[in-house]
Amino acid sequence: MALFDNPVIPGFSPDPSICRAGDDYYVATSSFEYVPGVPIRHSRDLVHWRLIGHALDRPGQLELADTVPASCGVYAPTLRYHDGRFWMITTVVDGIGSLLVTAKDPAGPWSDPVPVGIPGIDPDLAWDEDGTCWCVFSDDGIRGVRLNPETGELLGEPVSLWSGSGLQYPEGPHLYRIGEWWYLLLSEGGTERGHAMSVARARTLPGPFEPHPDNPVLSHRSTGHPVQNIGHGDLVRAHDDSWWMVLLGTRPRGDTPKFHGLGRETFLAPVRWEDGWPLPGPVELRAEAPALEPHPWPGEPERDDFDAEVLAPCWVAVRRWQPETVRLDERPGHLVLHARADSLDATGAVFVGRRQRDPDCSARTRVEVAPGGLGGLAVRIDEAHHYRVETDGAGTVRIAARIGPLGHTVAERAVPPGPLTLRIDVTSSVVLPPSVTAPDAAVPPGLRVGAPDTLHLGYETEDGAFEVLAALDGRYLTTEVTGGFTGRVLGMYATRGSAAFDWFGLRSA
């Protein structure tokens, strides 16, 4: 029996939507305030996924103002393959609203967006036998409307469909025509520990819908299961006629109430059919793989030497790419960042990073800061929650933390001026390594009780030794503390003048 490890897309990858084209599978996930928007991944076995691009990857498609709050932006896309084209519909919260783009190749290019004038969030697309397109969405319940997908025009007034078993926040609807039935799958209970999935069916649209008698059909609420918050699933029929679901979940750790810092991740679960109902689960960290030929892809590169003309798809920025401030052409073999705001607390800060995918990992970068500049390496949840190690290039390295309204320098040390290798290690162990012996290693033991992990911040000496200046409690960079919908992103920044980064490495421990 072949097994696979869940999550199949680790790290901040929530609200997965899946479609199949022949023997190929594609998943789109939410991106919130990060750009490019809507990552698109490709698989041939439902287990191994590679990032091939983004559906919203240029300013004409997605423009997020500095005023867009963290955890707003691009919510819950739906990805479908119909009539030889890929269709992606999503909502830009505090932005343009709902929009639809299409592509012949899911790797791009994708079309300019077509506005879709529906209220609410989480839009879905489904076509009936005569080609009529339905758009289903969440807006104080689940509603649906006929839609011209070419123009975004609504072909009537939205009507109520079915809004779950009565739990809060019915959302994430997906509508399917399977056999003689229309199935409506949705999430309810909120995206926290009470998250659950329910299903109903109808012979015709817009109903009436008949709910499954044992709704919700999937939830890990009030259990000790290592995977929690499961929901927002999407069904796919594999090319061997088996059925599967991608859905979001979390891996909370530490003491009660337990904490997750990687955000909501994409899991894979089998789907069985009983009495004409699709019943998903179980969702396990180690599970039986689909009976498809394994097709592993090369993983994301551990190191980027910034020798290409453009950044790889795994890199993201906050709210918008700024060509004048993020440069690969200014200094060969370097990523040069020019400060736009004087702090990572500001919404206009220049930050380029990668999602943390593994609970134990190490991020390193070699940076040279211009005279009078300031830049470094950070772990970010949002403007109010981040840890950073930074240098002024003139002989000072500093560890700083922002936790809600509190921000201060944790440690500081004099170093030789010039280029410096900065480093952040994340470890699920909360026991300090023997190397932390210096009296200025700021480790208040009382702050580490119940931590899911520890973040060690510092720099490397010329002989490669890791000088840890601070070991910080990881719980303050988790959703349970920060709120919101995103996970940790590790990356580089400049908050004064300019900083040139020779390379960046992100390695699983």
Distance CA 10, CA 15 (A): 13
Amino acid type, 277: W
Residue with tokens 């026991």: 431
Query: What are the residue numbers of the active site?
Result: 15, 171
Nearest to 185 by CA among 194, 202, 221: 202
| Strand ranges (E), 189-342 | 196-202, 210-211, 218-219, 228-237, 243-250, 265-274, 277-280, 286-288, 303-304, 316-318, 326-327, 335-338
Amino acid type, 140: D
Distance CA 385, CA 11 (A): 18
Beta strands 489-496 and 133-138, pairing class: unpaired
> H or E element: which one contains 362?
strand 361-369
CB neighbour list of residue 166: distance below 8 Å, 6 or more residues apart: none
Nearest to 12 by CA among 27, 31, 28, 25: 31
Report the 10 Å Cβ neighbour count for 69. Answer: 14
CB neighbour list of residue 171: distance below 8 Å, 6 or more residues apart: 76, 121, 122, 138, 186, 187, 188, 232
Nearest to 488 by CA among 363, 391, 334: 363
Burial class (CB in 10 A: 0-12, 13-18, 19+), 358: middle
